[in-house]
Amino acid sequence: MVGKIPRETLQEKVYESIKDSIVKNELMPGDVLSIDALAEDLGVSPTPVREALAKLSAQGLVKNARNKKARVAPVTREDVLEIYEVRKLLEPYATVMAAKEIESDPKLRAEMEKLRGVALDIQGAVEAGSLDSKHYEKNLEVDLGLEEMIEMALADTLLNKILNQVSNHSLRIRSFTEASSNKNAPEIVMTNNEEHLKIIDSMLEPDFERAREAVRTHLENAESRTLEALEEAT
C-alpha cells in the first residue's frame, strides 16, 4: 500500500511514490493500477496519478492495454536479458569514468575507502565462518554504496541520468527475484563480496582496465543468478 503524501509537492511526489512501490515490488508485476484507488491511497485527485502512470508507462514500468486498466509491467526472462545487456554496455565505462573522478577527488576517495572497509569486514566474517544478519545487511550496503559512489562521481551527466533509469528496472527485477530465492546464502554473500572488492580495489588503485573487467564479470555472474532466481519465482 502506498502512503499519503504532502500536497505541496504533488506531481513529482505522486510519481516517485508509485514508482518506488513498483520498484520495491510493493506493487507486484501484473497488479491492476486503479487511478481512483491510488488517488485515494495517496490523498490526491486522479489527475496527478493519471500523469504519473503515463510517465511510468513511457519508462516501461507500467503497461496500458487498450480498453483495460493499467497494470504493473511483468518481469520476464527477456526483461532480465535486456537490462543486463544494457548494463554490460554502460556500467564498465561508467565505472572507469567514476574511477578517474575518484582519483582526483580526496573526498570521493575517502568515501570509497570507507566502503572498502565494510567489504573487508564481510570478508573477515566469511573467513572466520561467523556471518550473521548484520553482514547480510552490510553486503547490501556495499552493493548500493558502490552504485551511489559511481553516481556521485558522475554527478549531473547524461550518462548518470541514463544509468538512473536503468537502475529502476534493475532494482525491480532484483527485488522480485530475491523475494523467492535464498539471497542470504553464505556462498552468495561471499561471491558478491569478492566481486565488489575487486571492483573497489581496481577503482582505488586505479587500474581502469581491471575495473572494466571486474564490473563486466560481476554483471555476468549477477545475470546468471538472476535468471536462476526468476525461474524459481515463476
pTM: 0.78
Which domains are present in the chain? 7-72 (1.10.10.10), 77-233 (1.20.120.530)
Please tell me the predicted confidence (pLDDT) of residue 81. 95
Residue 194 pLDDT more than 80?
yes
* Three-class HEC string of 40-89: HHHCCCHHHHHHHHHHHHHCCCEEECCCCCEEECCCCHHHHHHHHHHHHH
The CA distances from residue 74 to 91, 101, 107, 152, 234, in Å, are: 24, 37, 41, 31, 11
Please tell me the predicted confidence (pLDDT) of residue 29. 87
pLDDT in tens, 80-110: 999 999 999 999 999 999 999 999 999 999 9
3-state secondary structure of 33: strand
Highest mean pLDDT among 71-75, 109-113, 122-126, 164-168: 109-113
- The stretch 192-211 carries a mean pLDDT of 96
Q: State the angle between helix axes of 106-128 and 77-104 in degrees (0 to 180), rounded to the nearest 10.
A: 120
* Half-sphere exposure at residue 176, Cβ-oriented, CA atoms within 13 angstroms: 29
Q: Which contiguous run of DSSP H or E holds residue 222?
A: helix 208-233
DSSP per residue over 89-122, as a string? HHHHHHHHHHHHHHHH-HHHHHHHHHHHHHHHHH
Residue 13 pLDDT more than 60?
yes
The CA distances from residue 154 to 94, 98, 113, 162, 194, in Å, are: 8, 6, 18, 11, 24
Q: Which long-range contacts (CB under 8 A, 24 or more apart) does 207-212 make?
A: 208/96, 208/99, 208/100, 211/92, 211/95, 211/96, 211/99, 212/92, 212/93, 212/95, 212/96
Which percentage of the chain shows pLDDT scores above 70?
91
CA 149/CA 185 separation, integer angstroms: 26
pLDDT band at residue 3 using 50, 70 and 90 as cut-offs: low
Please tell me the predicted confidence (pLDDT) of residue 112. 97
Please tell me the predicted confidence (pLDDT) of residue 36. 92
pLDDT band at residue 137 using 50, 70 and 90 as cut-offs: confident
Please tell me the predicted confidence (pLDDT) of residue 171. 83
- Partnered with residue 63 across adjacent β-strands are 71
Task: Please answer whether residues 21 and 56 qualify as being in contact, where contact means their C-beta atoms are separated by less than 8 angstroms.
Answer: no
For cell 526472462, the residue is 77
Length reported for the chain: 234
